[in-house]
Amino acid sequence: MIQSLKPFAPMETVMMKSRFWVVGGEYTSCDCETIVQGTERVVGPFDSRTEAERTWRSLSEDHRPQAQVRFTIAQEPPSTLSA
């Protein structure tokens, strides 16, 4: 069975793009399951994981003495963007 393919359009670029966010805050205990209301932080979006890691390292270092403060990097599912 022959499938028809969409012809290539030179002016159309389709790319898969993900964005990254640094999320976290202070948790009620060191198990990091329940965040303390009002301490939530969401920083971003970042176009690359490297950019997000820079911010994550800075935030983590700033809160190092606080055992119940944690941050992580979250990646959005890729979306298809046409340029």
DSSP conformation class of 35: B
Residue 37, domain member (yes or no): yes
Domain containing 71 equals 14-82
CATH number at residue 44: 3.30.70
pTM strictly above 0.75: no
Asked if pLDDT for residue 39 goes beyond 90, the answer is yes
* pLDDT band per the 50, 70, 90 thresholds, residue 10: low
Q: What is the pLDDT of residues 60-80, one digit of tens each?
A: 999 999 999 999 999 998 875
Query: Is the sign of the CA dihedral 65, 68, 73, 76 positive or negative?
Result: negative
Among residues 54, 32, 33, the alpha carbon closest in space to that of 43 is found at 54
Average pLDDT rounded to a whole number, residues 37-66: 96
Residue 38 lies in a domain: yes
Establish whether the linkage from the previous residue to 45 is cis, with ω within 30° of 0.
Answer: yes
Nearest residue to 55 (alpha-carbon basis) of 38, 69, 72: 72
